Structure 1
Amino acid sequence: MKVKTECSKIIKPFYEGNSPSTTNHTPLSIFDKITYDTHIAVIYAYRPPTPSNEAIELGLQKALSVYREFAGRFGKDENGDQVILLNDEGVRFVEASADWTLHEAMPLKPSPSILSLHPSLHGVEELVQVQLTRFKCGSLVIGYTAHHYVADGESTSSFLVAWGQATREVDISPIPSRETSIFAPRDPPTYDFEHNKLEYTSRIKEKCSITNNDVSDEIMVHKVHFTSEFLNKLKAKTSSQDLWDKPYTTFECLVAHLWRVITKARGLGGHETTHARISINGRTRLSPKVPNYFGNLVLWAFPTTTVRDLLNQPVSYAAQLIHDEIAKVNNDYFKSFIDFANCKAKDDDLVTTADSRKQILSPNIDVDSWLRFPFYDLDFGTGCPFIFLPSYMPIEGLIFLLPSYVGDGSMEVFVAMFKDNLDVFKEFCYCLD
């Protein structure tokens, strides 16, 4: 897909009144520091008519005046700790064009060709980058990138909604909060759960770990559409296999199903241990809740079993593992982590297990659910996008779950797999065994 860059520039926040100080900074929280040290990119597509680039640019500048961290830069404070400098250095804004229709470029899917629809993720000092690509049919594709240390999925989607509000000249709501003092440890700190080898590992082991060689050419990101009918049948079948008082959620059933099918496709030995790393949003799990917190506020559940048990037991076995481990990541778990991260992790010189250098997660999987985030609500005044998807991330075992844009309860799942395993995955991904 050949895309021509027409203009690339830095744009800064636009303030209605007096501009704030540009000498302040905000610290990275313990939750920011344990996530992946990488930029994440997403793609939006809009049918004509669409607003002008100038209107979208001004809306972005207004949104940045509220979400100032995205217009800043990483730096160090007086203690040498990493912070976000609130210096309003701005974000990169790229205008581009494609000399064909969007229909000719369809289907848009995570592949190397889609990388031309957003700025590069490598060697970037800007914390946010935006690319507007105009197609000759009048369609508009927006590529958006942001550094994960600044915000998780919920915060990023909130910012994108605010960008649309500002472009439509609507007041930005809700106003985000980045009050990191809520993550102060208890006195005395209490470690009710084990966090070493889950969120953290020893620095010595991290140095000895082998980073995967570049295997991007061997990995394909495959898109699977699960209809609401299939999901209902999967949920009914999975829940009927257990004699407990309430059915499993659709999410638990689908992740259990995907975990089993991917494991089968990999051809792993029965004695191997496999886990699913599942993101858990802490905003509603902490007490008191912090619904408008801007930043990262995610921990993970790690349901674990052997390959033999995962494949030989019914899907309800995996669903129960997932259900139980997700339930454990509650307020007590988050508070225990806060104490551990602030105190023991520093004392023991531990490092995060979230390693953005890894390209192969086998025998494990990493599940990112975007099912409840308002990504489809990015409306610049002419309607919501008809396509939304993550960019190409060739990390074997990485899974994204998104609601289908048609809004009928169906889901889009993006699974990164070795090409050699894809045929087996396709054979069984719709099987209700």
Structure 2
Amino acid sequence: MVVNSKCCFTVKPAEPTWNGPQPLSELDQLSVIHVSTIYFYRPTQNWLSPPDTITNTLKESLSKALVPFYPIAGRLRWIGKGRLQIDCNAEGVQFFEAESESRFEDFGDFSPSARYEFLFPGVDYSVPIHEMPLLLVQLIKFKCGGISLGLLISHAWARLARDEPLGTATFHDRRVIRAGGPPRASPCIDHEAFIQLPRCLLGKLDDLEVRKKTTLKKMANEDHSSSDLERGCTRYESLAGHIWRCACKACKHENEQPTTLCVCVDSRRRMSTLPIGYFGNATLDVFATSRAVDLTSKPLSYASSRVREANKKVNDEFVNSGIDILKNQQDLTQFQDIHYEGSTQGPFHGNPNFGVVSWLSLPIYGLDLGWGKEIYMGPGTHDIDGDSLVLPSHDGNGSLTVALCLQVAHIDDSKKHFYELI
């Protein structure tokens, strides 16, 4: 796919905002790289003429959105010991405009594809971090009249683009999650929340559709009476266990091979201190572990119960103990994803570790910027072997979509097991 860049703009807040250094919580410190999403639209003819209508609407509404979300217009800065803060300086975000001779028909069903990498502005992680915008947006106009928007975005932008009130006020004070404060004197819970797993690059992204959710959840809760769980597995725990099991079978790990599933838990509803509208990272990774032979030979209820046992640990005290562990670290470099970006650390074949991130509760669809809702939304490209995302189906039929990244040699087998074992 050929994408021809036209211009680049720096979009700044529409009015003066608070300036100064903003401390980051320990959970904010971990995920530094940009997360990409892609939206495709087919605007009506009145939005396509004059040609700059869509561009101007996006730039103006983005500028308004940067007032309540002013930290996004700032820059990260290293403050020593592998730690960062946000310099709220209103330097702005990057907005790129481009064109392509391609048509929407070239994307087929819009399944995740390596072609998507051309739809996003490039991020050079070798430049000093204080020069790197926190938000980059690329608008591409296609020959067919459709457009794509590649970005990391808050839904607040969409409301302002339609000239609607913002809604829930943003809450920026990270002291509610103990940003900038010392660790507690009380002992930490003994857990492995920040274990470092090998990162394996050069995977292939594929997507799978899950329609038999009821059957899958029922399978996951078989033998529930024999487990130590106080309730059955959720649909996420059921599906995560299924993905883990199928990927492990596809990779043909030896029986005694230890395998780990990373579960990314949103702690907003599990902490008493976080208000509605808190604008910051509140996710924490926990880990389900097993031997490969147990995953592949036992029923789904075993794999899902392992996920459930990991998930149920996360409460207010567990998150705070994780924050204490990070606060007691002399240097956080080893825990930050930006230091692995572009590297080839870890084995390239036979990766025994997997991850399943849920986007089921996120308001990712219905991003109407004034010319109607998107015809497709999905994750951008990524190449971390073993990573996967679970999303609700875009057409609202109740099915789920799994975007799974595995080595090319394992994709077909994983897909085969995924459907055969339901």
Q: Would you say same fold, with TM above 0.5?
A: yes
What's the offset of the Cα at 1:415?
Answer: 0.7
Counterparts of 2:112 and 2:406, CA distance in 1 = 12
Counterparts of 2:145 and 2:183, CA distance in 1 = 59
CA 1:330–1:104: 2 relative to 1, 3 Å: same
Counterparts of 1:393 and 1:211, CA distance in 2 = 12
Task: Specify the code of the residue in structure 2 equivalent to 1:257.
Answer: H
Q: Deviations over 1:86-134 (max 9, x none)?
A: 1111111111112232123333333332111110122461111101111
Alignment-derived partner of residue 150 in structure 1: none
Alignment-derived partner of residue 139 in structure 2: 132
Q: Deviations over 1:150-205 (max 9, x none)?
A: xxxxxx5xx2x10011111111121211211123368853234224x53156xxxx
Alignment-derived partner of residue 398 in structure 1: 387
CA 1:398–1:68: 2 relative to 1, 3 Å: same
The alignment yields a C-alpha RMSD, in angstroms, of: 2.5
What's the offset of the Cα at 1:43?
Answer: 0.4
What's the offset of the Cα at 1:345?
Answer: 2.4
Task: Specify the code of the residue in structure 1 equivalent to 2:405.
Answer: A
Q: Are 2:180 and 1:178 aligned? A: no
Counterparts of 2:417 and 2:386, CA distance in 1 = 16
Question: Where do 5+ consecutive residues of structure 1 fail to align?
Answer: 146-155, 202-208
Q: Tell me which moved more, 177-186 or 278-287.
A: 177-186
Counterparts of 2:238 and 2:91, CA distance in 1 = 45
SS in 2 for 1:234: helix
Counterparts of 2:312 and 2:177, CA distance in 1 = 21
Alignment-derived partner of residue 116 in structure 1: 118
What's the offset of the Cα at 1:350?
Answer: 8.1
Counterparts of 2:64 and 2:419, CA distance in 1 = 45
CA 1:66–1:176: 2 relative to 1, 3 Å: same
Counterparts of 2:251 and 2:291, CA distance in 1 = 14
Alignment-derived partner of residue 33 in structure 2: 38
Alignment-derived partner of residue 48 in structure 1: 43
Q: Deviations over 1:127-153 (max 9, x none)?
A: 1110111112221100004xxxxxxxx
SS in 2 for 1:293: coil
Alignment-derived partner of residue 367 in structure 1: 356
Q: Deviations over 1:196-234 (max 9, x none)?
A: x53156xxxxxxx9876xx53xx210110112xx11111
Q: Deviations over 1:266-309 (max 9, x none)?
A: 01111111111111111110014433111111111211111111
Task: Specify the code of the residue in structure 2 equivalent to 1:247.
Answer: G
Alignment-derived partner of residue 144 in structure 1: 151
Counterparts of 2:186 and 2:336, CA distance in 1 = 22
Q: Are 2:248 and 1:226 aligned? A: no
Counterparts of 2:6 and 2:159, CA distance in 1 = 26
SS in 1 for 2:369: coil
Counterparts of 1:189 and 1:384, CA distance in 2 = 50
Counterparts of 2:198 and 2:317, CA distance in 1 = 34
CA 1:222–1:430: 2 relative to 1, 3 Å: same
Counterparts of 1:80 and 1:114, CA distance in 2 = 32
Matches within 5 A, 1:160-309: 161-184=155-178, 188-195=184-191, 197-199=192-194, 216=202, 219-227=203-211, 230-243=212-225, 246-309=231-294
2:18–2:70 CA contact under 8 A, matched in 1: no
What's the offset of the Cα at 1:394?
Answer: 0.9
Number of residues of Structure 1 aligned to a counterpart in Structure 2: 399
2:199–2:384 CA contact under 8 A, matched in 1: no
Q: Are 2:70 and 1:90 aligned? A: no
SS in 1 for 2:245: helix
What's the offset of the Cα at 1:432?
Answer: 3.0
Identity %: 27
What's the offset of the Cα at 1:246?
Answer: 4.4
Q: Deviations over 1:1-21 (max 9, x none)?
A: 111111112111112xxx135
SS in 2 for 1:170: coil
Task: Specify the code of the residue in structure 1 equivalent to 2:164.
Answer: V
Alignment-derived partner of residue 8 in structure 2: 8
Counterparts of 2:66 and 2:138, CA distance in 1 = 16
Task: Specify the code of the residue in structure 2 equivalent to 1:72.
Answer: G
Task: Specify the code of the residue in structure 2 equivalent to 1:96.
Answer: A
* TM-score between both structures, scaled by the size of structure 1: 0.85
Q: Are 2:4 and 1:20 aligned? A: no
Matches within 5 A, 1:306-321: 306-321=291-306
* TM-score between both structures, scaled by the size of structure 2: 0.87
1:98–1:134 CA contact under 8 A, matched in 2: yes
Counterparts of 1:313 and 1:422, CA distance in 2 = 22
Question: Where do 5+ consecutive residues of structure 2 fail to align?
Answer: 48-52
Alignment-derived partner of residue 206 in structure 1: none
SS in 2 for 1:430: helix
Counterparts of 1:425 and 1:78, CA distance in 2 = 43
Task: Specify the code of the residue in structure 2 equivalent to 1:352.
Answer: F
SS in 2 for 1:88: coil
Counterparts of 1:371 and 1:83, CA distance in 2 = 30
Question: In the alignment, which of 335, 339, 350 is matched to residue 352 of structure 1?
Answer: 335
Counterparts of 1:390 and 1:364, CA distance in 2 = 21
Alignment-derived partner of residue 70 in structure 1: 72
| Runs of 4+ that moved beyond 6 A | none
Counterparts of 2:291 and 2:160, CA distance in 1 = 50
Alignment-derived partner of residue 50 in structure 2: none
Counterparts of 1:261 and 1:11, CA distance in 2 = 45
Counterparts of 2:399 and 2:117, CA distance in 1 = 26
Alignment-derived partner of residue 109 in structure 2: 107
Task: Specify the code of the residue in structure 2 equivalent to 1:13.
Answer: P
Q: Deviations over 1:348-406 (max 9, x none)?
A: 87842755445759201111111110011321123221211111101100001111111
